[in-house]
Amino acid sequence: MGVIQTVLPILFGTQSNVLRETAEVFRENAEAAANRSQEVQLSALSQMAAEFAQPKVGVFDRVVDGLNRLPRPLLALGTLGLLSSAMIDPVWFAARMQGIALVPEPLWWLLGVIVTFYFGARHQAKGQDFQRNLAETLARVPQVLSNLKALDTYSEVTIKDLTQVTRAETNPALAQWKAAQRG
Residue spans of the domains in the chain: they are: 1-51, 148-183
pLDDT of residue 150: 80
pLDDT (tens digit per residue) in 49-92? 877 777 777 888 888 888 888 888 898 899 999 999 999 998 98
pLDDT of residue 14: 61
Selection from 79, 68, 49, 76 nearest residue 123 by Cα: 68
Regions of the chain short of the pLDDT cut 50: none
pLDDT of residue 162: 62
pLDDT of residue 158: 64
In angstroms, the Cα distances linking 144 to 43, 148, 161 are 21, 6, 26
pLDDT of residue 156: 66
In angstroms, the Cα distances linking 116 to 66, 98, 171 are 20, 25, 78
Amino acid, res. 120: G
DSSP string, 128-172: HHHHHHHHHHHHTHHHHHHHHHHHHHHHHHHHHHHHHHHHHHT-H
pLDDT of residue 120: 79
Selection from 54, 35, 21 nearest residue 132 by Cα: 54
State how far the Cα of 23 lies from the Cα of 21, in Å rounded to an integer: 5
pLDDT of residue 80: 94
pLDDT of residue 8: 67
pLDDT of residue 87: 92
